């Protein structure tokens, strides 16, 4: 059992009001790994996570989470999974310690006080344990939520955009803690919009409007895109971007401050398209591997065309 995947689901489908939100979703996540779950708002990430942790029944599809059947053993899944929602969901008029003690009571934990003490210590909450949850900043609320998730010693964490709205240092501290937990054998599936967070995952899955568009390591996803990217630097990259946009052979142009990313699927056609512009003074051109963001913009292009 220990070698079986933490998550092993096949062809999960879920619709609401006649609209298919998740369409034949399959995933197998090995134990002890950190997987990133990416996609635009409305892509079905939250719905999928809720099916995985036993909160939502799929319309069709089969599978297991921690070896428990997602249809028949939802209660067992809930006891062994830590689920962190997008929205802060603790009592704002209770202190950090009181909130954690409440969670420990819900799980009917033995040695409740010891478990709460350990979670408070681990997440660096000792000096704030008496502070009311409603007065915490975003970063400290995040720590409280993670402490509550690991309180009952779950085997799997399902984290739904856990770092939205927190500062870069809090995000970095959060990810350091996630990787420490994974090193101890915990499996993590985390949804995020941040490309730097995706790059910290063992593997990523990109979901758009219920369908998986890409999966694998970051390098595999980038290589599988087939994109070629040129990096351009200069004083007026915005003006150059306007000229390059829509040229045959150029699939996308993105401005990053004083840098421009110019990408295309056909490397030869892309080089022909940029050739007249490369002779201009004031700009430097360098062929580069596309960034993860370049790839995701490319993956979403067909959907933008359908909805425009």
> Are the C-beta atoms of 62 and 11 separated by less than 8 Å?
yes
- Beta-carbon contacts of 26 under 8 Å, excluding residues fewer than 6 positions away, are 9, 10, 11, 12, 212
pLDDT computed for residue 42 by the predictor: 83
- List C-alpha distances in Å: 178 to 30, 129, 138, 188: 16, 21, 17, 8
The one-character DSSP state at 26 is: E
Q: Are residues 44 and 192 in the same domain?
A: yes
> Are the C-beta atoms of 250 and 294 separated by less than 8 Å?
no
Tokens encoding 229 = 């990217």
Q: Are residues 155 and 268 in the same domain?
A: no
Average pLDDT of the chain to the nearest whole number: 92
pLDDT computed for residue 112 by the predictor: 93
Q: Which of 170, 200, 221 delimits the end of a domain? A: 221
Question: Domain for residue 300, yes or no?
Answer: no
pTM: 0.88
- List C-alpha distances in Å: 47 to 90, 134, 197, 198, 230: 21, 27, 21, 20, 37
Question: Domain for residue 273, yes or no?
Answer: yes
Q: Are residues 185 and 98 in the same domain?
A: yes
Biggest alpha carbon–alpha carbon distance for the chain: 72
Q: Are residues 114 and 246 in the same domain?
A: no
Q: Are residues 217 and 235 in the same domain?
A: no
The angle, 0 to 180 degrees and rounded to 10, between the axes of the packed helices 292-307 and 218-225 is: 50
Q: Are residues 205 and 242 in the same domain?
A: no
- The CA distance from 38 to 48, in Å, is 12
Percent of residues, the chain, with pLDDT higher than 70: 97
Q: Which of 173, 197, 221 delimits the end of a domain? A: 221
pLDDT computed for residue 80 by the predictor: 94
Sheet holding 228-234, edge to edge: 252-256, 259-264, 228-234, 283-288
Q: Are residues 72 and 216 in the same domain?
A: yes
Q: Which of 184, 205, 221 delimits the end of a domain? A: 221
The predicted-structure confidence for 10-49, as pLDDT tens digits, reads as follows 999 999 998 999 999 999 999 999 999 998 888 899 999 9
pLDDT computed for residue 1 by the predictor: 41
pLDDT computed for residue 308 by the predictor: 40
Q: Are residues 58 and 159 in the same domain?
A: yes
Question: Domain for residue 201, yes or no?
Answer: yes
Q: How many folded domains does the chain comprise?
A: 2
Domain that holds residue 124: 7-221
Question: Domain for residue 263, yes or no?
Answer: yes
Transcribe 151-177 into DSSP letters: TT--SEEEEESTTTT--HHHHHHHHHH
Q: Are residues 111 and 153 in the same domain?
A: yes
| CATH code for the domain in which residue 285 is found | 3.30.70.920
Q: Are residues 108 and 247 in the same domain?
A: no
Least confident of 103-117, 129-143, 163-177, 210-224: 163-177
Q: Are residues 82 and 160 in the same domain?
A: yes
- The CA distance from 182 to 205, in Å, is 18
The predicted-structure confidence for 150-159, as pLDDT tens digits, reads as follows 999 999 999 9
- The CA distance from 142 to 245, in Å, is 40
**Confidence at 179, pLDDT banded by 50, 70, 90:** very high
**Confidence at 304, pLDDT banded by 50, 70, 90:** low
Task: Choose among 169, 212, 217: nearest CA to 9.
Answer: 212
pLDDT computed for residue 40 by the predictor: 85
- List C-alpha distances in Å: 285 to 95, 226, 263, 269, 272: 55, 20, 12, 16, 14
pLDDT computed for residue 260 by the predictor: 95
The predicted-structure confidence for 241-294, as pLDDT tens digits, reads as follows 999 999 999 999 999 888 999 999 999 999 999 999 998 899 999 999 999 999
Q: Are residues 119 and 203 in the same domain?
A: yes
């Amino acid at each position: 059992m220990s070698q079986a995947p933490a998550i092993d689901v096949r062809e999960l489908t879920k619709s609401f009001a006649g609209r298919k939100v998740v369409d034949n979703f399959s995933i197998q996540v090995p134990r002890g790994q950190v997987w990133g779950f990416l996609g635009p708002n409305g892509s079905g990430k939250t719905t999928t996570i809720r099916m995985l942790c036993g909160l939502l029944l799929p319309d069709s599809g089969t599978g297991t989470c921690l070896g428990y059947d997602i249809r028949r053993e939802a209660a067992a899944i809930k006891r062994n999974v830590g689920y962190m929602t997008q929205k802060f969901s603790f009592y704002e008029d209770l202190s950090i310690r009181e909130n954690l003690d409440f969670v420990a009571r819900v799980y009917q934990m033995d040695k409740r006080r010891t478990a709460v003490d350990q979670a408070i210590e681990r997440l660096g909450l000792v000096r704030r344990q008496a502070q009311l949850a409603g007065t915490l900043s975003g970063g400290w609320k995040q720590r409280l939520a993670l402490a509550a998730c690991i309180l009952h010693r779950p085997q799997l964490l399902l984290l739904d955009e856990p770092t939205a709205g927190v500062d870069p240092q809090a995000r970095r501290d959060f990810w350091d803690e996630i990787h420490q937990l994974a090193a101890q054998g915990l499996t993590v599936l985390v949804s995020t919009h941040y490309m730097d967070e995706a790059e910290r995952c063992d593997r990523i899955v990109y979901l758009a409007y219920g369908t998986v568009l890409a999966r694998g390591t970051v390098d595999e996803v980038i290589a599988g895109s087939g994109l070629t990217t040129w990096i351009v630097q200069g004083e007026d990259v915005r003006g150059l971007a306007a000229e390059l946009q829509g040229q045959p052979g150029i699939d996308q142009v993105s401005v990053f401050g004083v840098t421009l990313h110019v990408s295309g699927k056909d490397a030869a056609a892309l080089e022909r398209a940029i050739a007249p512009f490369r002779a201009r003074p004031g700009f430097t051109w360098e062929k580069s591997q596309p960034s993860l963001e370049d790839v995701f913009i490319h993956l979403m292009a067909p959907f933008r065309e359908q909805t425009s």
